[in-house]
Amino acid sequence: MTRLLLASASPARRATLIAAGIHPVVAVSGVDEEATLAAARERFGTLEPADAVLVLAQAKAQDVAENLPDELADADDLVVVGCDSMLEIDGQILGKPTDADDAVARWHAMRGRVGVLHTGHWVMDERETSADAPAPGRLGAGHGAVLGATSSTVVHFADLSDAEIAAYVATGEPLAVAGAFTIDGLGGPFVERIEGDHHGVVGISLPLLRSLLAEIDVAIPDLWTR
């Protein structure tokens, strides 16, 4: 049996997986995001938003895979998934707000506008070698496969009043999420529509995850909790 190890502290990502029948093991990385992005820019030059989230997703997955909690140190059935999300608006990349004032300023800039929510996904196969033959064109367990991709969804924001922005920021919710908004929480009424995958905006794209896992011969039903 294969277990999915989610390298993220996000309750929204965990809840999304659970709603899809997958109860992940969770371990949080200690990655310094700013330092990681700075190192990537020094090596590769300017990063597109879709690449920046992939760099961070990879770093988080690798960090967790290399520093497993004691209770998982001898596990031989893990597939590690790292994710990271950022909002792109007017060519700028926005992660989590630094404080309430920052969140208010962002919403004043975002209201009535259109942004793109990018979520990077990185998968690492940490399972031991399997004697079973993989499906044609797929990698079986134990090949140490690493692969990733980014989900990008267009988000149309409502034209909030100053009072709505102040009330929303006062809840604290925008301070804990990329782009200072949620679509599955209190921020839902402030997103008029999207173009793309709803789950990608929440923080983990289930269709994209399915495609990545298929490359290492893991089917979504294999991860369902029974």
- Specify the DSSP class assigned to residue 224: S
Question: Distances from the Cα of 11 to the Cαs of 19, 152, 173, 203, 209, in angstroms?
Answer: 12, 20, 12, 10, 17
* β-strand partners of 5: 25, 80
The residue type found at 9 is A
DSSP string, 80-109: EEEEEEEEEETTEEE-S-SSHHHHHHHHHH
Q: Show the beta-strand stretches assigned E in the chain.
A: 3-7, 25-26, 78-89, 92-94, 114-125, 146-157, 191-195
What whole-number distance in Å separates Cα of residue 168 and Cα of residue 86? Answer: 19
SS3 74: coil
How many of the other CB atoms lie within 10 Å of CB of 207?
Answer: 12
Determine whether 84 is an active site residue. yes
| Residue whose structure tokens are 């921020």 | 187
- Residue of 84, 125, 197, 217 with catalytic role: 84
Q: Which residues are catalytic?
A: 84
